[in-house]
Structure 1
Amino acid sequence: MEESEKERKAKRPRRETTSPAALINDDVLHCILSRLSAFPFASAACVSKTWNRVCNRILSRPKLASAISLNPSPLAALREVVDKVLSQPIRPHFAIANIGPGMKLKQTLKFIVDRLGSNTPIVVSSVSGVIGRDAVTDEFKEIKWRGDLSDDDDEGVYAHSGIVLTVGYVPGIKVDAIPLCKPKKAPRPEMIDKFVMDIRNYTASVSGCTSPIGIIMFGVGDFDQKPVIEKLDHAMPMKTIIVGDERCPFLYKSGNNSRNIIGSLRCSIDAVALVFANDRDKAHGIGDIRFHVALSDGVLAIGQSYKAASVRVNDSEGSTWLTARRERQKDVLDGQQLLDDVNAELENHVQIFEELDQSELYIGVTKRRNYSVGSEKARLKTSLVFHEVIRGDEEYLYVDDVGIRSGDTFQFYLADSRAAKTSCNNVSMAFGNLKLDWETKNCSCRDVDNAINKEEPFGGFIFSCCGRGKPFFDHRNVDSSPFLENFPDMPLAGTFCSGEIARGHSSSIRLGSQEKSSVHCCLHVYSTVYLVMSYTPALEEY
């Protein structure tokens, strides 16, 4: 019987079918996938094991993406910066958005959460200005707002809306937002201790130790952050870098929903810490991320030291009234006599507040205090804390904030643009030395196969005093110059803030590690704080 056509086809050997995607080799696939924006890239990683492997290779190193927008429409500004930071492959591990007076915290946070996902820790803060590259033109800008107007008036920029958005991908690091939640009736010291323990416990849960590599802090303006920062300085080893904005309205979204506490009449969120901790379960072949911090001072010490004599606290105003003695003298000086000493040092007997209209006067108080967390044994620590001078009269010198005791020593400090410019130059030189050090190590550190173990920067942050900027220096981009001169292609984001947090030595902060000193200063005035994030690849990457 003759075979049917169907039977003949069944006996033919089958040909293996191969999809067009499978015919693409890894190099071509790498080139194609690396050109995708974040969302298509995330989808591509789910196509197959091969595609996922190539996607992981594309994002094998950390990445920071940042952009600013001054679009007068808040929604358009949000779209511009989000589209820009997600225009290339990236997996958001954290996000920081800093906004101007024309934008709302809640709407901004909701928009970013919708785009980045609810598992991404996000902090949104309202600031006095933004620093970064324009999302549309890629032009570098430092923008400050004075009320409703921008300080950049000669360019015709009147920005009611403005935002700088930064998204970070940090493989090998776990990041989350830890809030300082204070029930209205809870004792304040206990809640600060709990905040410190929450940071320790989170770090221990992801890294196996209680010390994060870095913390970026944000504190509300009506809450004195000095006790919080001082307690963190006491509790954390010196290798933990702490930077941030002392006083700013903010909202946050933690990756852990149990930490997303909404403020109410019974509870307030007084600070939030974006905590960066090493991941003990990081994938094989992932290198190491390091934080490096530097500080540009903007104040000059004036005259001799004094010792507080009588001290009164005005809790309703959050201020301190004091008299003082010159070192090794018995005569008690009132506020007017103290200010006369300052004017004499400046060789000018005109009242300082009338003559120096762009300057601010502070006292730097050296405090020796015992600190402990919970039931731990207390340790003595010496710190330098700045208090702004409000006024002086024939009774007292009036300064802001509390915490000064009789017997504390202090010295006057005056904001000075020349000192700040010199300090910026010193930071730029320090960054240059850091680059040289990396290059030297990169030439000498080789494994048996001659693969270079190269450390290099991948992103940076700037926290600059709102009193600085173009009006202070009479030049543009002075605060950003250390980054622009040394790392011109490195993504960076910055803000002009009201209180700069930088943990380190009272006069300078060494890059990479804190200079050893018996005096710590963590809250600075008229300064600019620089944070550089660097990456050293694992040898397996080569």
Structure 2
Amino acid sequence: MDEASSSSLTIKNKSDMKRPQTTAGLLSPINDDLLHNILSRLPALSFASAACGSKSWNQICSRILSRPKLASALSLHPSPKAAVKEVIEKVLAEPIRPHFVVANIGSGFRLYEIFKLISKKLGSSVPFIISTSSGIIGRDALTHEFKEVKWGDVCGDGSDEDCSIPAKDVNYGILLTVGFVPGLKVDAIPLLRSTKEPREVLLDKFIMDIKDYTASVSGCTFPVGIMMFGDGLINMKPIIDALDYSMPMETVIVGDERGRFLYRSGNESRNVCGSAKYFSDAVALIFARDKDKPSGMGDIQFQIALSKGVSTVGPRHKAVSVKENHCEHSTWLTARREGHPEILDGQQLLNDINDELEDYADSSDLYIGVIKRRNISMGSEKPRMITSLEFHGVVGGDDEYLYVSGVGIKTADYFHFYRSDPESALSSCNNVSLSLKKLKSDEDSKHRCHISEVFGGFMFACCGRGESFFGRVNVDGSPFVENFPGVPLAGIFCGGEIGRGPSRLTGEAHKDSDARCNMHVYSTIYLVLSYTPVPLEH
């Protein structure tokens, strides 16, 4: 928040909160319990000012904000200023000290304009990422109604680095999330690319920046969590592969593969949006343990769950002839069914799938999931074999080849066909709900000496899901909302959902369970934030 605003509010609160006087002199001082009650009801700006009132007030304010907190709200007002005003007033309606800010907007709003409006209210030192998404998920700032609002593909002209050119659509809306995470340090770190060498992705430096930052604040080189936002024009697969290779499985990685974004880092040297020297291909919000965490403060945990939305079709195949079209970022291939010698062209492969699906004609939500065993290394490190499952959308086929999106498929790679499947997705959502219900029941157990408490959640859902996919509203958010009705949940519909980490909440995986899948299709990724306080000594 602005220093000027804070100063004026401090003066106002100091004058307004003086102890009342009578002709007999001062009344009895307000006891700490009553003052705690009063201060805890203040909005965030007044609360921040009150914390500056005196040492005792500051101590009480610190006790009020001794545990982590997430505040989130959405607005669908078509006016940028009005929408920002609504969500700002909601997220700052209660005491909170912003450690990070994430905003997601419809492409009918200008990124740079919203960025400036929010920065003016929340100050210029808090790490901040704002992105354009295909939809927003959360509670309405005015009605508190839970909404899943899907607009469709991210569009508009984002060719300029500050993304200040308006989009030519009516996707108006904003979701604002502010987080207070004591015990963690948070910053935004961009993946930069030199404008002089446009093909060079500075991956090594990006990974090293993350490790260096984490080491500087936590004493170890691996963060607790990473929230990624990628540029829609960049292939995120090598980037996520590099992170997957470089980070232990305990590091949770979630995010949106394709969108447009702006960011602000706590390190001013990284704030190069609009620079003539660099493009920003992606940005990561890094959550690292605080090595200076006060004694007596508990720990924040990041846990993820996956609701998959595809199912396999037919037998496994093996790629025979593979050609890459780098200009169109696509692959042409032939294949044979496992255990059969005949080589099948694209039309034969699609005919087989149509037979399996009883003349399922729509290939727009048909994929091949390719098992890729590749040696991956970073810098001078020794290469390591990693097995991954990567999805490629089926574009079409003829009497020569099957055409799929993306590159990186090799001869002899095995693959299954997959199709979007609402029934599978609904069943998977129910499994997530059962897992969260167990987490909720553990939270409610009275006999445990220290209980993890869920204080917030993030959701990254495929833009193909939503009401049109399930035939009813708010299906994706229901596992979290039904189990934690009073806990903030902030979500977006993505152009490609990223989810990687230990799935302690659900053991679900795709059929090829030996392969690690970090970039999903027709799925929803749930990031659950919980806090375990230090057990009381008896």
Q: TM-score, normalised by structure 2?
A: 0.89
Which of 107, 110, 113 aligns to 2:116? It is 110
In structure 1, the residue matched to 2:80 is: 74
Which of 179, 187, 191 aligns to 2:190? It is 179
Which consecutive residues of structure 2, in runs of 5 or more, have no partner in the other structure?
A: 1-23, 156-168
Shift of 1:184: 3.6
Whether 2:505 is the aligned partner of 1:511: answer yes
In structure 1, the residue matched to 2:487 is: 490
Q: CA offsets, 1:451-507, max 9 Å, x none?
A: xx22110000111111110111110100111012111111111111110000158xx
Shift of 1:283: 1.5
Whether 2:350 is the aligned partner of 1:339: answer yes
Shift of 1:388: 0.6
Which residues in structure 2 correspond to 1:228-243 (within 5 Å)?
228-243=239-254
User: 1:443 is matched by which residue type in structure 2?
Assistant: H
Query: Does the C-alpha gap of structure 1 residues 346 and 82 become closer, same or farther in structure 2, counting only changes over 3 Å?
Result: same
Instruction: Kindly report structure 1 stretches of 4+ aligned residues shifted beyond 4 Å.
Output: 18-22, 146-149, 185-190, 263-266, 512-517
3-state SS, counterpart of residue 310 of structure 1: strand
Q: Is the 8 A contact 1:179 1:271 kept in 2?
A: yes
Give the superposed CA RMSD. Answer: 2.4
Shift of 1:444: 3.1
In structure 2, the residue matched to 1:12 is: none
Shift of 1:215: 0.7
- CA distance in 2 between counterparts of 1:222 and 1:344 reads 36
User: 1:444 is matched by which residue type in structure 2?
Assistant: R
In structure 2, the residue matched to 1:249 is: 260
In structure 2, the residue matched to 1:365 is: 370
Shift of 1:347: 2.9
Q: Is the 8 A contact 1:307 1:407 kept in 2?
A: yes
* Equivalent residues, number: 500
3-state SS, counterpart of residue 68 of structure 1: strand
In structure 1, the residue matched to 2:466 is: 469
Whether 2:163 is the aligned partner of 1:163: answer no
Shift of 1:435: 2.0
In structure 2, the residue matched to 1:521 is: 517
Whether 2:202 is the aligned partner of 1:191: answer yes
Q: Is the 8 A contact 1:459 1:492 kept in 2?
A: yes
Whether 2:309 is the aligned partner of 1:298: answer yes
Q: Is the 8 A contact 1:504 1:521 kept in 2?
A: no
- CA distance in 1 between counterparts of 2:527 and 2:416 reads 28
Shift of 1:109: 1.0
3-state SS, counterpart of residue 118 of structure 1: coil
Shift of 1:408: 0.9
Shift of 1:540: 5.5
- CA distance in 1 between counterparts of 2:275 and 2:320 reads 41
- CA distance in 1 between counterparts of 2:507 and 2:297 reads 23
Query: Does the C-alpha gap of structure 1 residues 321 and 98 become closer, same or farther in structure 2, counting only changes over 3 Å?
Result: same
- CA distance in 1 between counterparts of 2:80 and 2:382 reads 50
Query: Does the C-alpha gap of structure 1 residues 513 and 117 become closer, same or farther in structure 2, counting only changes over 3 Å?
Result: farther
Q: CA offsets, 1:337-372, max 9 Å, x none?
A: 111111121133x6444xxxxx60001010001112
Which of 205, 211, 227 aligns to 2:238? It is 227
Q: Is the 8 A contact 1:504 1:520 kept in 2?
A: no
In structure 1, the residue matched to 2:7 is: none
- CA distance in 1 between counterparts of 2:102 and 2:537 reads 29
3-state SS, counterpart of residue 272 of structure 2: coil
Q: CA offsets, 1:16-58, max 9 Å, x none?
A: xx99699221111111111111111111111111010000000
Which residues in structure 2 correspond to 1:209-220 (within 5 Å)?
209-220=220-231
3-state SS, counterpart of residue 430 of structure 2: helix
In structure 1, the residue matched to 2:151 is: 145
Q: TM-score, normalised by structure 1?
A: 0.88
In structure 1, the residue matched to 2:51 is: 45
- CA distance in 1 between counterparts of 2:201 and 2:230 reads 17
- CA distance in 2 between counterparts of 1:340 and 1:20 reads 89
Identity of aligned residues (%): 59
3-state SS, counterpart of residue 293 of structure 2: coil
Which of 408, 429, 443 aligns to 2:447? It is 443
Q: CA offsets, 1:248-304, max 9 Å, x none?
A: 111111111111112445421111010100000011221100011001100011111
3-state SS, counterpart of residue 501 of structure 1: strand
3-state SS, counterpart of residue 373 of structure 2: strand
3-state SS, counterpart of residue 50 of structure 1: helix
Whether 2:67 is the aligned partner of 1:61: answer yes
In structure 2, the residue matched to 1:35 is: 41
In structure 2, the residue matched to 1:386 is: 391
Larger Rg: 1
